[in-house]
């Protein structure tokens, strides 16, 4: 197989050393974030002047640089985001922007950006039918969900527009919840995964009826030699390694391993390349790995509840010695430690969790003193892991590439002016509330009052339980995730409902509009973009309007000021989820040692439960969202409709002693 027929190998870069490590190891392209608007806010990230030099170095060596602009934008972010994109185009010319927020599709072009637009996995492109609606908006590439099997990837490939690219993850961290459908961190404290601030509550220890463990803490994805199966799929044109918070050691070793595998395909060197690559993966200091759902015939559990799923290599355990009357922590390392090696103390959910650099060389079994803050003092016996290395050969390689970078183009990057062009805002009329149910009470039809519209989550059972008389009065809510194997089912259900007289539908992904054929659109349907579309700014609302939506729910993650400012800026009538059980996450994975419909608890005693709907697991908090006290204020701001999400609580659920106002009184970070 020649180099020209191979997909590109795409490496992560959270800092300059990792960028150079990816280039040095043979990556065809590198993706990096900016200081703002990146879904990895915890990475060091880059300025526009740094990116200009990086792009110049990449161009000189036949590589590419993509900028991850994959954050959900609030209305107050829109102008600064457009200005930043304008500066990127003027000064750096990155080859593509990876975006999550659909409003950026138009904002990027208005700001003069000329490169490709790629839709992030946070945009949740999970269905073959999504691809045509995306293609119509001028997007050249989509990043596929990590939950897809090889058969589903092939199915999407067969149905994709001929000039659309797929980018897919082959290595790195897995999330328990579907990307773009996780609100766990945000619901517990305002740090949104959609804005790169996730604090990973899924990695904590939970308990259920005497069992406890890290039930939702995932192993890393590693397709390793299975990457061979992807090289013959025409639309799979980029193989992506996750890890913008990883160091250069990880990036260099993982990229080198996959470079070996890809370059040896179809040659007599394949067997040796597999052996060498496996050794490199073992040296990369990642988490224990899994193929996840990639092989459809294997139902592999991606979590190991009774074992930690933390990255790094165990190098020792905390000991203490007395010095001047003070207990000082140290370890006796199991291998030599080098200056600037990075150590992690304990696990992510422990109060003493920290990362510290090694300050001096320590031989194997020598004494490595750990300088820790008083508020980070661990117990004796806490494990210490090596998570990044600075071996001399890698340091030399990076220094050589740093010298090349020094000779690259330097630019000044003065600020620019830019203002978004948006449709004129509208003031919509007050509409009935939605009472959203997963099933009918006691299996019977209900009549909606003038002030409340009965809404049902769409399923074969709910569609077929409703008579033609009642069907037009129901608002039908589509699920937040539709997988490739379900495409035909949902197309049939939508058409069955329309033939039965249904006219009102709520799409919980913008791209679900492709389920409504031209014939169906001619029947005066009322299409609303649902709350799982994660809409938070007027540019996103404008795009929805151009796609054919007549109204939209805004993201429930917003804070008070964000909520109240939005209606007066938008060209569609807006609504919001006012109360009920909003899920903290939606997953495709099977529960491991936890039972559905039974309460489980966090380390802080917070209650949760999981419930299967269709092919997905919904995880709910044990305390509902309730913004009812602010209804009058929201109506005055211009909101036209509200929804209550109704759920039947599982047996044995503790009494509801509190409700949540989500991020109303805080700020969405």
The pLDDT, as a whole number, for residue 373 is 82
What is the average per-residue pLDDT within 402-420?
94
Q: Which residue has the higher pLDDT, 445 or 609?
A: 609
Instruction: Give the Cβ contact number of residue 399 at 10 Å.
Output: 10
In order of start, what are the domains of the chain with their CATH numbers? 3-174+220-285+394-406 (3.20.20.110), 313-388 (2.40.30), 433-645 (3.20.20)
Strands 220-222 and 289-290: parallel
pLDDT tens-digit series, residues 487-521:
999 999 999 999 999 999 999 999 999 999 777 66
What is the average per-residue pLDDT within 547-559?
97
pLDDT tens-digit series, residues 149-168:
999 999 999 999 999 999 99
Structure tokens at 222: 């590693």
User: Taking Cα atoms as reference points, which of 261, 313, 258 lies closest to residue 282?
Assistant: 313
pLDDT higher than 80, residue 148: yes
Question: Can you tell me the distance from the alpha carbon of 411 to that of 56, in angstroms, rounded to the nearest whole number?
Answer: 11
What is the average per-residue pLDDT within 464-471?
92
Strand-pair partners of 528: 506, 551
Q: Which residue has the higher pLDDT, 4 or 42?
A: 42
What average pLDDT does the chain have?
93
The DSSP element (H or E) to which 322 belongs, if any, is: strand 319-323
Residue with tokens 């300050």: 359
pLDDT higher than 70, residue 78: yes
Within 13 Å of residue 502, how many CA atoms lie on the same side as its CB? Answer: 27
The DSSP element (H or E) to which 261 belongs, if any, is: helix 248-263
Q: How many helices (H) and strands (E) does the chain have?
A: 16, 32
Helix, strand, coil share of the chain (percent; to 5): 30, 25, 45
Q: Identify the weakest region by mean pLDDT among 195-199, 448-452, 594-598.
A: 448-452
Q: What is the pTM of this model?
A: 0.95
Q: How many residues does the chain have?
A: 669
Question: Can you tell me the distance from the alpha carbon of 554 to that of 532, in angstroms, rounded to the nearest whole number?
Answer: 8
Residue with tokens 């992690």: 344
DSSP string, 595-637: -TTS-EE-TT--EEEEEEETTEEEEEESS-EE-GGGHHHHHHH
What is the average per-residue pLDDT within 440-448?
60
Question: Can you tell me the distance from the alpha carbon of 564 to that of 517, in angstroms, rounded to the nearest whole number?
Answer: 35
Query: What confidence tier does 655 reach under pLDDT thresholds 50, 70, 90?
Result: confident
What is the C-alpha radius of gyration for the chain, rounded to an integer number of angstroms? Answer: 26
Residue 167, C-beta contacts closer than 8 angstroms, at least 6 positions apart: 10, 118, 141, 142, 143, 144, 237, 238, 239, 240
pLDDT higher than 60, residue 4: no
Query: What confidence tier does 444 reach under pLDDT thresholds 50, 70, 90?
Result: low
pLDDT higher than 70, residue 448: no
Instruction: Give the Cβ contact number of residue 411 at 10 Å.
Output: 15
The pLDDT, as a whole number, for residue 256 is 98
| Termini Cα distance of the chain | 47
Structure tokens at 67: 């900028």
Instruction: Give the Cβ contact number of residue 56 at 10 Å.
Output: 19
Q: What is the 3-state secondary structure (H, E, C) of 177-213?
A: CCCCCECHHHHHHCCCHHHCCCCCHHHCCEEECCEEE
Among the ranges 66-75, 370-379, 514-523, which has the highest mean pLDDT value? Answer: 66-75
The pLDDT, as a whole number, for residue 1 is 36
The CA-atom distances, in angstroms, between 60 and each of 404, 408, 524, 621 are: 10, 9, 55, 51
Beginning with the edge strand found earlier in the chain, give each strand of the sheet holding 607-613 in spatial order. 211-213, 206-208, 600-601, 607-613, 616-621, 585-587
What one-character DSSP code corresponds to residue 252? H
pLDDT tens-digit series, residues 299-332:
688 998 988 778 899 999 999 998 877 889 999 9
The CA-atom distances, in angstroms, between 664 and each of 11, 189, 277, 431, 562 are: 38, 11, 49, 23, 9
pLDDT tens-digit series, residues 221-265:
999 999 999 999 999 999 999 999 999 999 999 999 999 999 999
Residue 266, C-beta contacts closer than 8 angstroms, at least 6 positions apart: 1
The pLDDT, as a whole number, for residue 362 is 96
The CA-atom distances, in angstroms, between 560 and each of 319, 469, 542, 568 are: 48, 40, 22, 14
Q: Identify the weakest region by mean pLDDT among 372-376, 389-393, 461-465, 571-575.
A: 372-376
């Amino acid at each position: 197989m020649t180099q020209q027929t191979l997909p590109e190998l795409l490496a992560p870069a959270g800092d300059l050393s990792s960028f150079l490590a990816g280039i040095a190891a043979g990556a065809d392209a590198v993706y990096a974030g900016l200081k703002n608007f990146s879904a990895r806010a915890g990475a060091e990230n880059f300025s526009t002047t740094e990116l200009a030099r990086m792009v110049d170095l990449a161009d000189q060596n036949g590589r590419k640089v993509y900028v991850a602009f994959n954050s959900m934008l609030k209305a107050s972010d829109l102008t600064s985001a457009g200005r930043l994109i304008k500066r990127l185009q003027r000064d750096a010319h990155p080859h593509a922007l990876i975006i999550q927020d659909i409003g950026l599709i138009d904002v990027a072009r208005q700001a003069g950006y000329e490169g490709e637009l790629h839709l992030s996995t946070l945009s949740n492109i999970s269905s073959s039918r999504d691809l045509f609606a995306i293609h119509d908006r001028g997007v050249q590439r989509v990043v596929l969900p990590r939950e897809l099997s090889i058969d589903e990837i092939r199915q999407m490939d067969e149905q994709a527009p001929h000039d659309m690219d797929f980018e897919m993850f082959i290595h790195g961290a897995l999330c328990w919840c579907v990307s773009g459908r996780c609100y766990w961190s945000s619901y517990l404290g305002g740090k949104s995964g959609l804005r790169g601030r996730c604090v990973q509550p899924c990695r904590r220890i939970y308990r259920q009826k005497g069992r406890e463990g890290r039930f939702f803490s995932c192993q890393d994805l590693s397709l390793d030699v299975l990457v061979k199966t992807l090289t013959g799929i025409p639309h799979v044109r980029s193989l992506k390694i996750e890890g913008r918070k990883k160091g250069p050691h990880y990036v260099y070793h993982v990229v080198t391993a996959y470079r070996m595998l890809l370059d040896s395909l179809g040659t007599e060197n394949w067997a040796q390349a597999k052996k060498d690559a496996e050794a490199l993966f073992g040296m990369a200091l990642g988490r224990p790995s899994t193929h996840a759902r990639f092989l459809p015939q294997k139902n592999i559990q991606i979590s190991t509840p009774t074992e930690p799923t933390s990255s790094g290599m165990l190098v020792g355990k905390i000991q203490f010695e007395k010095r001047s009357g003070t207990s000082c922590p140290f370890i006796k390392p199991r291998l030599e430690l080098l200056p600037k090696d990075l150590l992690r103390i304990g696990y992510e959910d422990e109060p003493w969790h920290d990362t510290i650099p090694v300050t001096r060389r320590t031989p194997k079994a020598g004494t490595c003193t750990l300088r820790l803050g008083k508020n980070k003092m661990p117990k004796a016996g806490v494990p210490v892991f090596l998570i990044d290395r600075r071996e001399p050969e890698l340091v030399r390689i990076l220094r050589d590439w740093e010298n090349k970078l020094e000779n690259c183009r330097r630019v000044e990057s003065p600020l620019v002016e830019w203002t978004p062009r948006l449709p004129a805002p509208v003031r919509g009329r007050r509409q009935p509330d939605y009472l959203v149910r997963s099933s009918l009470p006691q299996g019977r039809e209900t009549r909606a009052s003038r002030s409340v519209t009965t809404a049902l989550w769409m399923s074969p059972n709910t569609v077929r339980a409703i008579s033609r008389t009642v069907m037009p009065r129901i608002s039908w809510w589509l699920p937040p995730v539709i997988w490739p194997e379900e495409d035909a089912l949902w197309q049939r259900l939508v058409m069955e409902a329309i033939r039965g007289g249904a006219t009102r539908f709520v799409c919980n992904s913008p791209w679900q509009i492709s389920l409504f054929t031209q014939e169906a659109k001619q029947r005066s349907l009322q299409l609303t973009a649902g709350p799982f579309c994660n809409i938070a700014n007027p540019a996103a609302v404008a795009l929805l309007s151009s796609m054919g939506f007549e109204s939209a729910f805004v993201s429930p993650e917003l804070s008070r000021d964000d909520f109240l400012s939005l209606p007066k800026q938008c060209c569609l009538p807006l609504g919001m989820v006012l109360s009920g059980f909003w899920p903290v996450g939606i997953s495709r994975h099977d529960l491991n040692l936890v039972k559905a419909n039974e309460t489980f608890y966090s380390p802080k005693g917070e209650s949760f439960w999981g419930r299967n709907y269709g092919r997905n697991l919904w995880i709910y908090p044990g305390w509902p969202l309730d913004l009812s006290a602010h209804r009058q204020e929201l109506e005055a701001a211009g909101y036209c409709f509200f929804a209550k999400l109704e759920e039947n609580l599982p047996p044995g659920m503790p009494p509801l002693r509190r409700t949540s106002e989500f991020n109303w009184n805080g700020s969405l970070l």
